[in-house]
Amino acid sequence: SLSELQKEEEEEEEEEEVTTTLFSLISSEKWSSVLQHLSQNQHEASFWVIPENNGPSKVPPRLPLHQACATNAPKEVIMALIDAYPKGAQSSEIFGALPLHLACQNKAPLGSIRALIRAYPKAATVSVGGLLPIHMACMGRNVSLAVVEALLRIYPEGRDAKDRYGYTPLTYYELSSCPQKAWGLKMILSRKPKESRRKGLRSHNSCRTL
């Protein structure tokens, strides 16, 4: 009947609104609201959502955890999303990106990186288009020595890993837009002696934007 169809449509609209509330809050970077909403709606952490995108490139369906990693969410949000849906840390987008890839690409805080590694250590060994998380962590600005160390600690072989162009993480760091190249980062990426490495770590913690 017509009334039954209307009721079904209302239920579908209500369900759609519920499934996107958490994702929308994350996209808006309303972190306190995210935590509050998630505490009462943990099931939403497992919903795949197609993000709104006004740009020319398509954004694949994502879990809330993917979106949080792409928007530099604080570690409290990342940890809460992992607790709500542990499988999210090992779930990849259609193009293969895991939450750890997105976090490294978008220069997420160290606490978030560590939480993702604890949840799914194997993520550090997974490449997307030939790029490991450590490659992505060494690109662009704000390359963090602490993040690079955390990735190497779980997957030391990543130091010498080459992408499809033969580039290592050190290559990407040398090509990065960091205003100053941190000596300590070069040491741990180029496998210099431990004595020199310790000296470098004391004097340079990360590459910061000016």
Residues 6+ apart with CB under 8 A from 51: 23, 27, 59, 62, 67
Q: Does residue 28 sit in the same domain as residue 103?
A: yes
Nearest to 183 by CA among 196, 167, 195: 196
Answer whether residue 203 is part of any domain: no
Nearest to 137 by CA among 118, 119, 114: 114
Q: Does residue 43 sit in the same domain as residue 107?
A: yes
Q: Does residue 136 sit in the same domain as residue 49?
A: no
155's torsion region: left (phi>0), alpha (psi -120 to 50) or beta?
beta
* Residue 51 pLDDT: 82
The structure's pTM equals 0.79
Q: Does residue 119 sit in the same domain as residue 43?
A: yes
- pLDDT tens for the chain, 210 residues: list them: 445 544 544 444 444 444 479 999 999 999 999 999 999 999 999 999 988 766 666 778 999 999 999 999 999 999 999 999 999 999 999 889 999 999 999 999 999 999 999 999 999 999 999 999 999 999 988 889 899 999 999 999 999 999 999 999 999 988 887 766 666 677 778 874 444 344 444 434 445 433
Domain that holds residue 114: 16-123
Answer whether residue 9 is part of any domain: no
* Residue 175 pLDDT: 86
* Residue 176 pLDDT: 81
